[in-house]
Structure 1
């Protein structure tokens, strides 16, 4: 069963990014989580798009429900209310301008809580998904070539230190997170109309196998656009409508802890 789109009559968004985002119902703004320039660019796009709603990969729906205009006007209070310092995400000062760019937007969270992730690891990726797994295209297995590619990316992301038997599970969790982002984006659109902006990592924003794939499965009439952000003129992997780069941030040796 497809999810009904009851709000497609909302007026299209203004011209943004040279017209690429013009008329988009949902815009995915990808990032490398620890690059301040990526977040600054996201904040600029949010200001231009004037979204009705913002969806954050970094927030659970419970956290998103806490966001009010008064809180958005107070960076320190918002950080405390969201428990950001205990979340494991990069410094809130990088993300706050995105909130400040849309103080009147509705806020939606798409984070998969740890207990739900553990349950999915034990019982399958559809366990705990808030939507209809079949409608969002979460039930079919990935094509073999994509499965191989995604497992290789997971292994590299964990500095080749992840047991190989865990790689399919990690790919499943990534797919669950993609589907949760799609679910939240659709909930936001059906509640508020467009444009909805999704703040997430590049891997989730890519249109060839990220959250847009699951959103298109559930709501094929939606107009979806995506930004991917790379570093030092190297584009991110995947398919995007707009690709930008910024200077790389200094990360030291991310694999030092695995040695």
Structure 2
């Protein structure tokens, strides 16, 4: 089955997809140190494309080099204030570090995300779901581990029957990022940088794992970013760096 998926992916994309570099830069979304590290890595990498978990394909399509050079105009054009993501001032230096790069969006549009409550993940993703492995059930042990992580991440307050749906949402977002990365390499030839949360950047089952299954000759590097005193981020990464921890409220306080 894996060889079939690889063959389909190569028919969808030119041969230049192979043997190119993809750099996944993980983050904790509200940590400014993580974004500063990402901006430095982007500047050093000189990517031809940036893929953002925070942008839908429609948002990414409106970004121009002129907008990339104007923080206020770019924030307004992206309607960032209504996005739910942290302060744009933390993200803008990443854009500014590669103003000539093409921008791609790997976010799942909200209307599609809502569909996951009533439709199978492969139906929400679309016709190429089998290419990205979404027609296949996860191994039993991994499914159980992911469900436990979702329960913990939601303060042990989720009904158990919601856990499979939450795992499907994570898989949907991983696959959307992998698809955006595939498109970015196909259109630019690479190298590309993917800006995303640590959970999507992990090489054992995140977007890099999907991309590696599709194109095993692709050179993929993943950075995970932790916070001082909090231990390593969950998952497998090529490298882990640390920044000062952010002083934030306990997200589970309301459930205690």
What TM-score does the superposition give when structure 1 sets the normalisation length? 0.91
Of 39-48 and 140-149, deviating more is 140-149
RMSD: 1.6
Match of 1:231 among 227, 232, 243: 227
1:70–1:154 distance in 2 versus 1, CA, 3 Å: same
- Show CA shifts across 1:38-82 (max 9, x none): 000000000000000000000001100111111111111111110
Aligned length: 247
Equivalent residue for 1:253, pick from 243, 250, 253: 250
1:210 equivalent to 2:206? Answer yes
List, as ranges, runs of 4+ consecutive aligned residues in structure 1 with deviation greater than 6 Å: none
Does 2:196 correspond to 1:200? yes
Give the equivalent residue in structure 1 for 2:102: 106
Distance 1:130 1:183 in 2: 11
Aligned to 1:8: 16
**Structure 1 pair 147–240 and aligned structure 2 pair: CA distance change class (3 A):** same
Q: CA deviation at 1:7?
A: 4.8
Distance in 2 between residues matched to 1:117 and 1:24, nearest whole Å: 30
Name the structure 2 match of 1:20. Answer: none
Q: CA deviation at 1:258?
A: 3.5
| 1:232–1:247 contact (8 Å) kept in structure 2 | yes
The answer on 1:148 being equivalent to 2:148 is no
User: Which is richer in helix?
Assistant: 2
* Aligned-residue offset at 1:254: 1.3
1:102 Cα deviation from its structure 2 partner: 0.7
Q: State the partner residue of 1:16.
A: none
Q: How does 1:122-137 map to 2 (within 5 A)?
A: 122-130=118-126, 132-137=128-133
For 1:41 and 1:127, the matched residues in 2 are separated by 37
